[in-house]
Amino acid sequence: DAEITQSPRHKITETGRQVTLACHQTWNHNNMFWYRQDLGHGLRLIHYSYGVQDTNKGEVSDGYSVSRSNTEDLPLTLESAASSQTSVYFCASSESWAGELFFGEGSRLTVL
Amino acid sequence: GQQVMQIPQYQHVQEGEDFTTYCNSSTTLSNIQWYKQRPGGHPVFLIQLVKSGEVKKQKRLTFQFGEAKKNSSLHITATQTTDVGTYFCAGLDSGGSNYKLTFGKGTLLTVNP
């Protein structure tokens, strides 16, 4: 069955370190998204991509970057982790840009 | 920018009672989607509404999209313990070409058996 997987599921890091969260989907979806979820804020869009070599900033993109070198993967990089980036991160993909999102199981990141 | 407000933030009901969550957008929407997230889980798509005034049902769940396409509601009849979770609406802005699917902050539903 097609799926979307995130790794690692849990990570603890220190302030200032670079962190990369992986997202891999096997649906062959062109559209992929990264969200963060925090209490009181719901789901907020960090970055998104409509296809290979395409990346776009979402509403909370500062301190994050993504790259899309193939259809299956959209890794999220925190260049210099900050405590404010402690959160649960969800990757999602969709077949159409306006269609339903399929979410991964999430990556819980703690920045000390 | 676009804002999607969702109320209530929390709702506790006795099993068998009904439940409704409301979603209001500051802008006209192309479509609205609803998701459910179980405690400790990830959001799972429930439904998408596209047409003005649209009503869709899934067993005990009824979804409505307002005539002006700026508000929506999810109603659960006779709640069960399996309905526990956070329900999110997500509105797709109809303006411009940039992707603008904005999530509400969600309504956490707890059900007392």
Dihedral angle of Cα A74, A80, A83, A86, to the nearest 10 degrees? 10
Contact B22, B69 (CB under 8 A): no
Mean of pLDDT values over A14-36: 97
Rounded to a whole number of angstroms, the distance from the CA of B55 to the nearest CA of chain A is: 18
Question: How many domains does chain B fold into?
Answer: 1
pLDDT tens-digit series, residues B47-88 = 999 999 999 999 999 999 999 999 999 999 999 999 999 999
Q: For residue B81, give the CATH number of its domain.
A: 2.60.40.10
pLDDT at A74 over 70: yes
Looking only at the bridges linking them, the beta strands covering A76-78 and A64-66 are: antiparallel
Domain boundaries, position B50? 4-112
The pair phi, psi for residue A74, each rounded to 5°, is -140, 85
Mean of pLDDT values over B2-24: 95
User: Closest chain A residue to B99 measured between Cα atoms?
Assistant: A97
Rounded to a whole number of angstroms, the distance from the CA of B42 to the nearest CA of chain A is: 5
- Cβ of residue B103 closer than 8 Å to a chain A Cβ: yes
B43: cis peptide before it, omega within 30°? no
Residue with tokens 């990369």: A20
Q: What is the pLDDT of residue A66?
A: 98
Contact A102, A94 (CB under 8 A): yes
Give the span between the Cα atoms of B34 and B53, in whole angstroms: 16
